[in-house]
Amino acid sequence: MSEHLPVMAAEVVEFLVTRTNGGYIDCTVGAGGHARFILSSATEGRLLGLDLDSEALASAGAGLAAFGGRAELVRGNFSDLAAIADEYDFRDVDGVLFDLGFSSMQLDDPTRGFSYLNDGPIDMRLDTEGATTAGALLAKVNERDLAQIFFDFGEERRARPIARSIVRAREKGKLTTTFHLAAAVMATKPKNKNKTLSRVFQALRIAVNGELDNLKSGLAAAVDILRPGGRVVVISYHSLEDRIVKRHFVGCENPCTCPRDIPECVCGKKPTLKIVTRKIIRPRYAEIVSNPRARSGKMRVAEKLETEN
């Protein structure tokens, strides 16, 4: 199993840590890579780390033990960020981080079913205690709805023939492992097998975990719990996530809903964020060389504005 390296760790610290004694939330703490950098920079600060994966939390706990009581780790979904922040007294924080990628620990574990490179059960749950696996989803979804999942969540143009091939494999009883799933996709003879397989696996994972809806809820909560001047940093890895982040930041910076032909705003909606990074921040070449999984990372940063009561 390969070591997990936090993506753009130096950039996260540069944009997120604005006060050394501040409060910070890592909404996807994973093995604790980013959290270690944050706490090392915020030498008197404290951090709340969230994750759905109990194994990841155990790993993070071991790695963050050196920081004593400055790190609080909670098993939870960042869609519930507001309630969790209230419960653990992390309101008016200085920074909120979302790293929407997956750790090597998760991807390389065949029992989790995230990768088409390893044979294992078609699971794909971030929360291993969650009710529905990707295999259970594939067992009951009809061909049309399955194609819609691949189109909506994987942006896969050949969604229909892929869905048809998977349903045929299911009917023959040959859809119980990730290799079976990959074989059903490959039976459609895609031009770029790795991209197509990645899109199909991504789409199923998003559907099983409700990732896009969770992200929307988490971003809204992050803006609410930040103090004025606090920042939200998001690292996304595919266009669906990045689009949601961009639209949320732009919507918070320019919330006016008045018709364009009205000379003066009458809707009364005030900006709550200022976009810090007008252009996407990407990993440096040296980082991509040492950690190829970082290559698709895209960072966006926004800062909370002072709002009138």
Residue among 161, 232, 234 at smallest CA distance from 200: 161
> Quick one: pLDDT band at residue 253, thresholds 50, 70, 90?
very high
Q: What is the pLDDT of residues 85-108, one digit of tens each?
A: 999 999 999 999 999 987 777 888
Residues 96 and 225 in one domain: yes
Q: How far apart are CA 112 and CA 126, in angstroms?
A: 9
> Quick one: pLDDT band at residue 4, thresholds 50, 70, 90?
low
Q: How far apart are CA 71 and CA 118, in angstroms?
A: 34
Residues 119 and 194 in one domain: yes
Residues 256 and 294 in one domain: yes
Q: How far apart are CA 293 and CA 31, in angstroms?
A: 16
End-of-domain residue from the set 209, 243, 268 = 209
pLDDT recorded at residue 244: 98
Domain span holding position 94: 9-105+211-304
Residues 129 and 155 in one domain: yes
Residues 13 and 161 in one domain: no
Residues 99 and 245 in one domain: yes
Q: What is the pLDDT of residues 17-30, one digit of tens each?
A: 999 999 999 999 99
For the chain, percent of residues with pLDDT exceeding 90:
85
Judge whether 83 lies within some domain: yes
End-of-domain residue from the set 209, 234, 265 = 209
Residues 97 and 215 in one domain: yes
Judge whether 114 lies within some domain: yes
Residue 86 DSSP one-character state: H
Number of domains in the chain: 2
Residues 91 and 141 in one domain: no
> Quick one: pLDDT band at residue 308, thresholds 50, 70, 90?
low
* Average per-residue pLDDT for the chain: 94
Residues 127 and 215 in one domain: no
b/e per residue, 294-308, with b = 16+ CB within 10 A?
bebbbbbbbbbbeee
End-of-domain residue from the set 192, 209, 226 = 209
> Quick one: pLDDT band at residue 1, thresholds 50, 70, 90?
very low
pLDDT recorded at residue 268: 86
* pTM, 2 dp: 0.93
Q: What is the pLDDT of residues 125-156, one digit of tens each?
A: 998 887 799 999 999 999 999 999 999 999 99
Q: What's the whole-number mean pLDDT along residues 187-192?
A: 96
CATH number of the domain to which 155 belongs: 1.10.150.170
Using the predicted structure, report yes or no on whether residue 307 has a pLDDT greater than 90.
Answer: no
Residue among 255, 229, 150, 142 at smallest CA distance from 196: 150
Q: Give DSSP secondary structure letters for 94-129.
A: EEEEEE-S--HHHHT-GGG---TTS--BS---SSTT
Residues 73 and 134 in one domain: no
